Structure 1
């Protein structure tokens, strides 16, 4: 039997961005240069944009990607077939990568020193920079850039476009404020639709899978489209995603869609589309796997529609499980909730909304400001090292600077772990002890 065990983000291993190939390093340098130009940081990235190793690497990964894509379309998943995203900038497999020229039909990009990347033009550099450092939370800066770059197969132009769209998405939805104010604010403002989703625990973080990834348990049987507005379910989903990011540090999260007692009245395509778009476009390389558990026969025609919305990379992470034995191939019996036959006694029936009584440290502005000052110094040092790293043409020096940046990036993460309690209202998970930074 398990109790409310901690699923601290500190347990999560660092992703493989710490071990980087020279070709991928070039692509990351280019993305960082694009960001720094927008932020008004003087630098010359001509060296990074003239390195031809990326072109050779690109032609190889392009061929591999095309081959993988064809195999996925042929084989499908558990007999359900394949699918692909039709969204803008979907990073189609097989698209060649160029160090200086984008292959996008709508845009040819050639680097010019000091010129802001087309995807970032017209954006407020100061606001975007603040959004970038705020959105990290417990993700080191290189990990964040790595996620977007990896999602676009290290095409720096496409990765920059993707990041630009995410900046717009986050600022439009005020995600920093939404997470900092948290559930307490939702209940204080009596946002009935969002409140209902929390009370039902329609999506709840209950443990870790066998790869030590926090998992979100989603229970569609509680969902009825008419019970809340579309924007309510979207806000609820974003709060849950942002909170699970605090659990996973630089790793990944998993999702279990439990379709027990699922009926056609529970089906609502809009939030499904929204969730897919979030993980594909705005939280890339964050999804470890998505388990669809105990799907009834009536789910088959629904799946035939949904699968066509999926990017092949996301689709490849979907696994269907029918019973406890199959589920425990991915999640230990100790972590599986009791109602599914496991031993996890996480209280899924009683949600206690935070009321602000655990937020006393939000008033300690002196401690907050001291940590923010340290953070600003770390960020300044990180940017200084990043400029040197981008501009150097010496491989040994580049490796040395990369490692120094990784170390400073981890310090920025550690700084946020200390800062968190002074800027973010305590969530249900902080209060019950399952989230510890």
Structure 2
């Protein structure tokens, strides 16, 4: 990375740094069918649902020349000072950049979530909420004297009148994926403690506030709609896709074992999965001018119909969860370069599109910054007209068409554009095979159980101090609120650090671990050799 930065900014000095990212943890299950890497990322790039593409608060704008020519700014919290154009401030509506009204919404959301987790909370006094643009117009009215947690609340289109959590719902016209039903089903299928555990599993190495804020932004700061979306997602992760206890737990090593087995069906699953990885139909490499990780998709390497829908859905989740490894605060979104060189009709897959729209709109909100469709041929115009019709106009606006190197340079520095894309970077994708016994700690169930119990205890402490923080804030006990917030921040950092101790016991190593891009302790470096 130092070498790259010296080429970018010869007069500047750049310390080598690593930054924390998020990973999953789980218990073991048998994997589902593997799938096409390109198809998944292609769909991600084009229809990444409102969730990835619908990043309302990180809308890329034309970059002033002065910014493009500046050396590295001081990094946020000192964690990404190797990124030449890292934003100096977190995006609006994210941790570290909340308005007072948005912070109130975050606290309200915590109370709702903690109630679903099974905590018995006394009513908390809340101040009258001032009008702001943190919520839709129908929400801009003075709050009642107390928190209307489950009763008649602050949302005109939420008709819950019971103290029972199942009464929280979304108006049919605003419930595209039937999440009200899924939410109620989650409360029936899962005990409060299971929901609580699933939430902290989903947090991984993130700040839990960051996770909640993603759902709040996606639902335009409507806390009840965000709650329905959050709980529905946890049910989907735990009971439908088995994200942490199967997909990420088993990873590439299981695919290799399947490919070497004698069972024809299992062997095909493993072969299909590894074929995508070995060809490099899609891969993660480098960052754009905003410090966002880049996913490059080589469309020409894929042929439609090679995998069934179940396999595609499985690999969709694997791809997204792997991309999460490369995100770090204040960066919360990714960029996809969709290389359509030599694209033909045979390369196009519609089957996974609807799944992907639902997946990213409902389960991975606020995670994609921009999509670059590069060198699209004329025949793609009819395909795009169909796909665009499925997207909200705000979502479609996140997609940009680029024709040449100059267009790409608006988003990515030429030294981080591969020669394959007519850039200056002399780098090419190479798959490193799974090593022999590269996941030894995952067999140590005793240590894993101990670490997971330790994590849940930390989570409980965060919950307790979160309640104190909220209570003191709304009673305007400034000193107590500040003390609780400080303690809370310390515990969140402990949770982040503890996750990386747990990680090798719950997540199979990936290509990016073998390349030493994802390093120990939650550090990442796209150019580990250059850093040396």
Same fold judged by TM-score > 0.5?
yes
Are 2:454 and 1:386 aligned?
no
Are 2:412 and 1:337 aligned?
no
Q: Structure 2 residue aligned with 1:434, among 517, 524, 527? A: 517
Structure-2 change in CA distance of 1:344 and 1:417 (3 Å): farther
Query: 1:256: which partner in 2?
Result: 337
* Long gaps (5+) in structure 1: 64-94
Which region of structure 1 is more displaced relative to structure 2, 411-420 or 356-365? 356-365
Q: Structure 2 residue aligned with 1:32, among 93, 96, 110? A: 110
Are 2:286 and 1:207 aligned?
yes
Are 2:186 and 1:186 aligned?
no
CA distance in 2, matches of 1:164, 1:9: 26
Determine helix, strand or coil for the equivalent of 2:248: helix
CA distance in 2, matches of 1:310, 1:102: 29
Are 2:327 and 1:245 aligned?
no
Determine helix, strand or coil for the equivalent of 1:248: coil
Are 2:385 and 1:304 aligned?
yes
Q: Structure 2 residue aligned with 1:411, among 478, 494, 497? A: 494
Are 2:232 and 1:174 aligned?
no
Deviations 1:194-219 (A, max 9, x none): 33322332221112112211111122
Q: Is the 8 A contact 1:218 1:258 kept in 2?
A: yes
Determine helix, strand or coil for the equivalent of 2:205: coil
Q: Is the 8 A contact 1:289 1:317 kept in 2?
A: yes
Length-normalised TM-score, structure 1: 0.82
CA distance in 1, matches of 2:17, 2:344: 34
Report the RMSD for the aligned CA atoms in angstroms.
Answer: 2.9
Query: 1:80: which partner in 2?
Result: none
Structure-2 change in CA distance of 1:154 and 1:266 (3 Å): same
Determine helix, strand or coil for the equivalent of 1:270: coil
Q: Is the 8 A contact 2:338 2:371 kept in 1?
A: yes
Counterpart mapping for 1:34-183 below 5 A: 34-48=112-126, 51-53=127-129, 56-57=131-132, 61-62=135-136, 96=139, 100=148, 101=153, 103=155, 105=157, 107-110=158-161, 112=163, 115=165, 118=168, 119-120=183-184, 121-122=187-188, 123-171=190-238, 172-177=240-245, 178-183=247-252
Q: How much does 1:323 deviate?
A: 0.7
CA distance in 1, matches of 2:318, 2:436: 17
Q: How much does 1:295 deviate?
A: 1.2
Q: Is the 8 A contact 1:39 1:126 kept in 2?
A: yes
Q: How much does 1:142 deviate?
A: 0.7
* Long gaps (5+) in structure 2: 5-15, 22-78, 81-86, 169-182, 259-266, 523-532
Query: 2:313: which partner in 1?
Result: 234
CA distance in 1, matches of 2:482, 2:394: 30
Q: Is the 8 A contact 2:197 2:456 kept in 1?
A: no
Deviations 1:12-70 (A, max 9, x none): 5866322322211222222222221122112124434xx4316x236x7535xxxxxxx
CA distance in 2, matches of 1:52, 1:319: 42
Length-normalised TM-score, structure 2: 0.68
Determine helix, strand or coil for the equivalent of 1:247: coil
CA distance in 1, matches of 2:471, 2:283: 45
Query: 1:319: which partner in 2?
Result: 400
